Copies of this chain bind each other. A is one copy, B any other.
Amino acid sequence: MEVIARFEVPYYQYLNEESAVVAPLPEFAKDPEQLLHLYRLMVLVRTFDAKAIALQRTGKLGTYPSTRGQEAVFVGMGNALAKTDIYVPYYRDIGTLLQRGVKLSEYLLYWGGDERGNVFSADKDDFPFSVPVGSQPLHAAGIATAFKIRHQKRAVLTVTGDGGSSEGDFYEALNVAGSWQLPVVFVVSNNQWAISVPRSAQTAAQTIAQKAIAAGFSGEQVDGNDVIAVRDRVAAALQKAREKNEPTLLELVCYRHHDHTTADDATRYEPQEIREIEWKKEPVARLRRYLENNKLWTEEQDKKCHEACAAEVEEAVTEYLNTPPQPLESIFDYLYARLPDIYAEQRETLLKKEVPAHG
């Protein structure tokens, strides 16, 4: 017996649980403005999230998947993306999309049950929300193929949950990205749960990062509660993608501090102790503590920041609530570039339909 291949999985963290610096900070993190910007975004995301849950509870929003406690993952990712890159989200995200120019009101529209929430008015190319778990990494690989064919120095970023990493499509996407050397970064937001199924039951792999080994490229595990680490590793992976057409898998380790969605009840399966332990690692307080320790932030500033975020969210909510529904014909009018004649009669039937009693 001889050993013919060896592999390692690295782990990255800059700010630990106690907000102590445990590794030399990357360049961007030495700029207070950049850190403050990330902090404000995380506060905005958390504020918005709480509001969305409240809207759902009062019947003003549909089923909604919270990002509470996962702010660093999405804010860090979004911050690392270049404008010319393309983002392929799943369904759980605010922080990235926000930085892509998606309006909070669009976000609400989507979860309010309106396709226009996918129009992403500020962006032409990003993919819409994707519900079928694990299916969207293939779209990212396809876009990356287009970039490569056209010799564009652009990268694609896509994100999946830990549950999503069990789907065959996830693996097929990694495999083709490795085989074709595609400029794509696969993020797994490992929040430890896929609805009620814990990460430990999802796979026997010790890390999700090591799944990249099956596809012949490198995977890294990153502290997903450390926004500096997220921002840094995603940026590095995107750069490697743009410059060397090398794919990367990044496992961002975080925790889902809420029910899976508002339709879920995590008390049925989640040990309360675990959530409490995990809360000590959560990303917003961690960065705030660091900023305060370094005299970059005060309680007063924090209060103002929260107020500003609350105001911004309120405005979005008002805009959302005042958005009139789409016209009925929208049900037919985006199916094809031009609606085939055979469906015209059905479209007429629709337009003549009374508002049903149970509506």
Which residues of the partner chain B approach A205 to less than 8 Å between Cβ atoms?
178, 213-216
User: What is the interface of chain A mostly: helix, strand, loop, or mixed?
Assistant: mixed
Residue total for A at the interface (Cβ-Cβ under 8 A):
40
Q: Is the Cβ of B214 less than 8 Å from the Cβ of A213?
A: yes
State which of B175, B203, B215 has its C-beta within 8 Å of the C-beta of A216.
B203
How often does this chain occur in the complex, in copies? Answer: 2
Which residues of the partner chain B approach A9 to less than 8 Å between Cβ atoms?
3-6
Residues A214 and B3 in contact in the complex (CB < 8 Å), given A204-B179, A205-B178: no
Whole-angstrom CA separation of A23 from B2 in the bound complex: 10
Q: Which residue of B lies closest to A210 (CB)?
A: B213
Q: Closest Cβ of chain B: how far from A180's Cβ, in Å?
A: 9
Question: Which residues of A are interface residues toward B (Cβ below 8 A)?
Answer: 1-12, 23, 166-172, 175, 178-179, 181, 201-207, 209-211, 213-217, 221
29 contacting pairs across A/B (C-beta < 8 A): A1-B23, A2-B10, A2-B11, A3-B8, A3-B10, A4-B9, A4-B10, A4-B11, A4-B207, A5-B206, A5-B209, A6-B8, A7-B210, A168-B168, A168-B169, A168-B170, A168-B171, A175-B203, A178-B204, A178-B205, A179-B201, A205-B213, A205-B215, A205-B216, A210-B214, A211-B213, A211-B214, A213-B213, A214-B214
